[in-house]
Amino acid sequence: MTETKKDIAKKYFDAFHKGELDVVFSCLSANCTVQYGTNEPAEAKPFFLQSLEMIKSLEFTTNGIYTSPKSNKVLIDFTYANSKDKNNTAVQAIDIIEFDLYNQISKITVIPNE
């Protein structure tokens, strides 16, 4: 059975939370970009390598994963907080995950609701 875009997005998202970059990279297209609170997208692989320690310091809760059959996008509603922060203030955010024709992730846009 072929993985759906929703399955691939969940696989990527779960691996991302655990810092399992080999799994993350297996979900991405060669030219995948990320846009995490910046004006311009950045190359995904270098971004994830540079951000690994920060990623590991966060606790994530997935609130919902949404898509439609004809869409090339999956939306993930989630909350994150710094596990080392004594106040542990949670931030709600949305990932917009876009796919290419081969069902690989081609762009990830994160929109924090701060």
**Does position 2 have pLDDT exceeding 80, yes or no?**
no
Residue 99's CATH number: 3.10.450.50
**Does position 60 have pLDDT exceeding 80, yes or no?**
yes
Calculate what percentage of the chain has a pLDDT beyond 70.
92
Q: For residue 11, give both structure tokens.
A: 């696989």
Domain coverage including residue 21? 5-113
**Does position 112 have pLDDT exceeding 90, yes or no?**
no
Q: State how many domains the chain has.
A: 1
Cα distance between residue 27 and residue 46, in whole Å: 15
